[in-house]
């Protein structure tokens, strides 16, 4: 991993399928402070598109990076406000 | 000199002060109308109570809540069973009328077949780690989704207000749903 940012917290949503990765990401981000970065670890292939779309359509968050592994998808979301 | 004031205004023409006040008023109204303080809204009408049709309104409601939408879901007719604490755990999947089912309708109509297809679906839901109807409903409630139970259908089905999950709004009718739809950015009938 070539992460150039510090992960504040990690959310494990492995096994969960739509809509839970997005729903749980939203809940986890709500608990974070501004500037914090949440790492979301998912196994749902749909999470690549869903978390991207959620971050684009939601105020106060920014998708910093996404990594597609063999079976695991990692998403990095920064809370911007 | 150019500082001369123009001819005195005609009798019924507004004065400069009146016009300035009117401009202020309009600017305030414009600011209210375009401000971002109001959340986006989604209104869903849920009319179906089969296991497969319980999912779309709940998935969309919880996802919209994650996007920051204010969501109301108005449950009427069989859609009411999704809010019924006991019945929501026993929603059935019909084996008849769906040409994608692996058995012909003539076989699907045999007694007990709905139980077979329902169990098949429940197994797939469990194997796939798909959230149950109850989980989705509780999650949506936690996220602030407002679930409304149609009062007319409650009376029609002879349900009791206590039959529903905590947090479900009762005592509402079509006018409430219509108002929600009129105010919403997205309206869906499921």
- Of B95-109, B144-158, B175-189, which range is least confident? B95-109
Instruction: Label residues A64-77 b or e (16+ Cβ within 10 Å = b).
Output: bbbeeeeeebbbbb
Annotation marks residue A18 as catalytic = yes
Predicted pLDDT of residue B10: 63
Nearest-angstrom CA–CA distance, A41 and A26: 14
Domain-located, residue A79: no
Q: What is the pLDDT of residues A4-41, one digit of tens each?
A: 789 999 999 999 999 999 999 999 999 999 999 999 99
pTM (two decimals): 0.80
Of B37-41, B90-94, B110-114, B123-127, which range is least confident?
B37-41
How close, in Å, is residue A67 to chain B by CA atoms?
A: 22
The domain spanning residue B63 has which CATH number? 3.40.1260.10
Whole-angstrom CA distances from B91 to B75, B112, B122, B133, B165 are: 15, 15, 10, 9, 15
Which is the catalytic residue, given A3, A18, A31, A56? A18
By percentage, how much of chain A surpasses pLDDT 70? 96
Residue B120 lies in a domain: no
Examine residue B115 and state whether it is found in any structural domain, yes or no: no
Q: Residue B118: inside a domain, yes or no?
A: no
- Selection from B145, B130, B118 nearest residue B57 by Cα: B145
| Higher-confidence position of B103 and B118 | B118
A13, A20, A25, A56, best to mutate vs chain B, most B CBs in 10 Å:
A20
Chain A residues touching residue B142 (CB < 8 angstroms): 27
Which residues, 6 or more positions from B65, have their beta carbon under 8 angstroms from its beta carbon? Answer: A23, A26, B71, B140, B143, B144, B145
B7 found inside a domain? no
In a domain, B116, yes or no: no
Per the domain annotation, does A16 fall within a domain?
no
Q: Is the peptide bond before A19 cis (omega within 30 degrees of 0)?
A: yes
Predicted confidence band of residue B5 (pLDDT cuts 50, 70, 90): low
Interchain proximity B67–A58, CB inside 8 Å = yes
Q: What is the mean pLDDT of residues B162-171?
A: 93
In this predicted structure, the answer to whether residue A2 has a pLDDT above a threshold of 70 is no
pLDDT at B31: 79
Residue B69, min C-alpha distance to chain A (Å): 9
Give dist(CA B39, CA B68) in Å, integer.
7
Q: Sort out which chain A residues have CB atoms less than 8 A from B139's CB and list them.
A: 20, 23
Rounded mean pLDDT, A53-57: 92
Q: pLDDT tens digits for B170-181?
A: 989 998 899 999
**In terms of residue numbers, what domain contains B80?**
41-93+132-189
Determine, yes or no, domain membership for A15: no
Q: Tell me whether residue B183 is in a domain.
A: yes
Q: How far is A29 from chain B (nearest CA, A)?
A: 10
Give domain status of residue A40, yes or no.
yes
How would residue B153 be classed by pLDDT, with cut points 50, 70 and 90?
Answer: very high
Kindly state whether residue A14 falls inside one of the protein's structural domains.
no
- What range does the domain containing A42 cover? 1-8+22-73
Across the interface, whether the CB atoms of B62 and A17 are under 8 A apart is answered no
pLDDT score, position B1: 52
Within a domain: B142: yes
pLDDT > 90: what percent of chain B? 71
Domains contained in chain B, number = 1
| Domain tally, chain A | 1
Residue A28 lies in a domain: yes
């Amino acid at each position: 991993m070539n992460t150039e940012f510090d992960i504040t917290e990690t959310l494990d949503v492995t096994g969960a399928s739509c809509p839970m990765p997005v729903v749980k990401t939203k809940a986890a981000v709500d608990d974070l402070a501004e500037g914090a970065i949440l790492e979301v670890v998912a196994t749902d292939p749909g999470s690549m598109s869903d978390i991207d779309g959620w971050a684009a359509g939601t105020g106060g968050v920014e998708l910093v990076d996404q990594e597609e592994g063999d079976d695991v998808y990692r998403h990095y979301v920064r809370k911007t406000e | 000199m150019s500082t001369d004031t123009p001819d005195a205004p005609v009798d019924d023409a507004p004065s400069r002060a009146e016009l300035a006040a009117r401009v202020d008023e309009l600017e305030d109204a414009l600011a209210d109308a375009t401000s971002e303080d109001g959340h986006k809204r989604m209104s869903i009408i849920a009319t179906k109570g089969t296991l497969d049709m319980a999912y779309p309104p709940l998935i969309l409601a919880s996802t919209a809540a994650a996007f920051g939408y204010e969501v109301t879901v108005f449950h009427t007719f069989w859609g009411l069973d999704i809010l019924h604490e006991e019945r929501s755990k026993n929603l059935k999947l019909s084996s008849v009328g769906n040409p994608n089912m692996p058995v012909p309708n003539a076989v699907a109509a045999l007694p007990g077949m709905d139980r077979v297809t329902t169990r098949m679906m429940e197994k797939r839901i469990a194997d796939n780690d798909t959230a149950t109807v109850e989980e989705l409903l509780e999650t949506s409630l936690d996220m602030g989704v407002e679930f409304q139970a149609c009062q007319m259908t409650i009376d029609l089905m002879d349900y009791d207000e206590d039959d529903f999950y905590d947090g479900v709004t009762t005592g509402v009718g079509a006018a409430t749903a219509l108002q929600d739809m009129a105010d919403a950015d997205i309206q869906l009938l499921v």
